[in-house]
């Protein structure tokens, strides 16, 4: 569908010098695409005039009039259509945005959608009042940076390429409006927040509060496990249960480990169905396993046969530092973060979580 239109203004201002001119140099037709109507594409046949600039010192001799809110220089689409395609691109990006635009009656390529999005001006981000500070990994266990989030709007504000306290302090110093810094217990975050925003209140974020509470509860329960067992009344059962001899063996996965319990349960389910006369294909369909998994469970007489070499023979980057950790543990130092900081200068390249898991196992075995 084509719509004829013509501008009737008395003149226009030169875009270079701003001098008003009504001297018409000529006119020509423009055909900008507009928003579709009833599923049909709309093209404007717009007659525009070219004016001669009255300023003799201006670098432009002539200029073309533009209709505010409708056209722009060298634009092939009207401003409403351009804004609509940019909104679609922001929501769906290139390929999906191009497909939706075609369904709406505007045929554009994914590159055009991305170009319209890229041409949008950078949004003005207000200075945050409550800033959340945490780490992100570009390569887990190797390279980490700092992410800053506006807690009130729940949107990321900036990314710092490292975890240095000086970088965080410089970022906060440029934003004196920060009133609250929400962080975890990392020492470099505390140092950077104190140096860069001394006026801000430092608090722990919600996730770390719950995480620290769960760890403290787990440690407390592990330390008082014997007391808790003594409080549980003994309920006489029909008879003593026979404990499999595999528990007292050197199984790398003892009872209570979630992978071991799951493997034992699946092994028992497979053998129960096979004993009842079901075929392996039938067991595969009923339990939702692959045929190869069913075969592995069926060929194993005991579930412990499936645990061979799972823990004991697997190398770890922490193996060379376990004697040092054991010595420090015997001296009374049980803080995982402090021990991690001590072995990093010694050459340890692994993560803090691996050290914490190792010390957690030592603490759990000690409390039993």
CATH among 3.30.420.10, 3.40.50.10470, 3.20.20.70, 3.40.50.1100 for 130-208: 3.30.420.10
Give me the pLDDT at residue 244, please: 43
Stretch among 122-136, 170-184, 209-223, 249-263 having the lowest mean pLDDT: 249-263
Confidence band of 366 (pLDDT split at 50, 70, 90): low
Give me the pLDDT at residue 117, please: 92
- Count other C-beta atoms under 10 Å from residue 354's C-beta: 16
Answer yes or no: is pLDDT of 242 > 50.
no
Give me the pLDDT at residue 82, please: 92
Give me the pLDDT at residue 310, please: 47
The pLDDT tens digits of the residues spanning 194-220 come to: 999 999 999 988 888 888 888 888 888
- Count other C-beta atoms under 10 Å from residue 54's C-beta: 14
Task: Give the N- to C-terminal CA distance of the chain in Å, as an integer.
Answer: 81
The pLDDT tens digits of the residues spanning 68-116 come to: 888 888 888 999 999 999 999 999 988 999 999 888 888 899 999 999 9
In the predicted model, what is the mean pLDDT of residues 229-254?
A: 50
In the predicted model, what is the mean pLDDT of residues 149-163?
A: 90
Give me the pLDDT at residue 140, please: 81
Q: 306-327: b or e for each residue (b if 16 or more CB lie within 10 Å)?
A: bbeeeeeeeeeebeebeeebee
Q: Label each residue of 154-173 as H, E or C.
A: CEEEEEECCCCHHHHHHHHH
The pLDDT tens digits of the residues spanning 177-191 come to: 899 999 888 888 899
Between residues 39 and 352, the one the model is more confident about: 352
- Count other C-beta atoms under 10 Å from residue 227's C-beta: 9
- pTM of the complete model: 0.44
For residue 277, give both structure tokens: 């006369």
Radius of gyration of the CA atoms of the chain, in A: 35
Answer yes or no: is pLDDT of 367 > 60.
no
In the predicted model, what is the mean pLDDT of residues 162-182?
A: 91
- Domain ranges, ordered by start, for the chain: 2-118, 130-208, 258-307, 319-367
Q: Number of helices (H) and strands (E), helices first, in the chain?
A: 12, 12
CA–CA distance from 53 to each of 7, 68, 72, 100 (Å)?
A: 18, 19, 19, 43
Percent pLDDT > 70 in the chain is 88
Answer yes or no: is pLDDT of 148 > 60.
yes
Give me the pLDDT at residue 147, please: 92
318 beta partners: none
Give me the pLDDT at residue 245, please: 42
In the predicted model, what is the mean pLDDT of residues 271-296?
A: 91
Answer yes or no: is pLDDT of 360 > 70.
yes
Give me the pLDDT at residue 233, please: 59
The pLDDT tens digits of the residues spanning 258-280 come to: 677 888 889 999 999 999 999 99
Give me the pLDDT at residue 256, please: 54
Give me the pLDDT at residue 334, please: 86
Considering the chain, what is the average pLDDT of its residues? 84
For residue 180, give both structure tokens: 């609250």
Between residues 4 and 252, the one the model is more confident about: 4
In the predicted model, what is the mean pLDDT of residues 146-151?
A: 92
Answer yes or no: is pLDDT of 131 > 90.
yes
The pLDDT tens digits of the residues spanning 22-58 come to: 899 999 999 988 988 887 888 889 899 999 999 988 9
């Amino acid at each position: 569908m084509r719509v004829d239109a013509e501008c009737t203004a008395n003149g226009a201002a030169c875009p270079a010098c701003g001098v008003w001119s009504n001297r018409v140099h000529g006119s020509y037709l423009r055909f900008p695409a507009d928003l579709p109507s009833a599923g049909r594409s709309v093209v404007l046949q717009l007659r525009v005039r070219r004016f001669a600039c009255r300023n003799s010192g201006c670098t432009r001799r002539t200029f073309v009039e533009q209709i505010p809110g409708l056209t722009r220089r060298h634009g092939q689409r009207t401003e409403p259509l351009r804004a609509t395609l940019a909104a679609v691109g922001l929501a769906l990006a290139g390929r999906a945005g191009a497909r939706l635009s075609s369904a709406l009656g505007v045929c554009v390529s994914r590159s055009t959608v991305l170009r319209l999005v890229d041409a949008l001006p950078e949004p003005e981000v207000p200075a945050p009042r409550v800033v959340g500070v945490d780490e992100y990994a570009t390569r887990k266990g190797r390279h980490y940076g700092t992410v800053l989030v506006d807690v009130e709007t729940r949107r990321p504000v900036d990314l710092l390429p490292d975890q240095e306290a000086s970088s965080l302090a410089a970022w906060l110093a440029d934003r004196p409006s920060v009133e609250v810094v929400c962080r975890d217990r990392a020492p470099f975050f505390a140092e950077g927040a104190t140096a860069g925003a001394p006026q801000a209140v430092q608090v722990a974020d919600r996730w770390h509060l719950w995480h620290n509470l769960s760890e403290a509860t787990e440690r407390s329960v592990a330390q008082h496990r014997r007391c808790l067992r003594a409080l549980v009344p003994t309920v006489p059962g029909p008879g003593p249960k026979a404990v499999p001899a595999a528990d007292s063996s050197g199984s790398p996965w003892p009872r209570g480990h979630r992978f071991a319990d799951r493997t034992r349960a699946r092994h028992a389910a497979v053998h129960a169905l096979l004993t009842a006369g079901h075929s392996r294909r039938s067991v595969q369909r009923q339990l939702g396993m692959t045929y190869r998994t069913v075969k592995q469970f069926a060929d194993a007489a005991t579930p412990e046969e499936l645990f061979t070499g799972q823990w004991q023979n697997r190398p770890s980057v922490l193996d060379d530092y376990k004697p040092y950790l054991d010595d420090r543990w015997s001296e009374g130092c049980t803080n995982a973060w402090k021990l991690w900081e001590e072995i990093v200068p010694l050459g340890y390249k692994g993560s803090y979580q691996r050290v914490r898991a190792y010390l957690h196992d030592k603490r759990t075995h000690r409390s039993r």
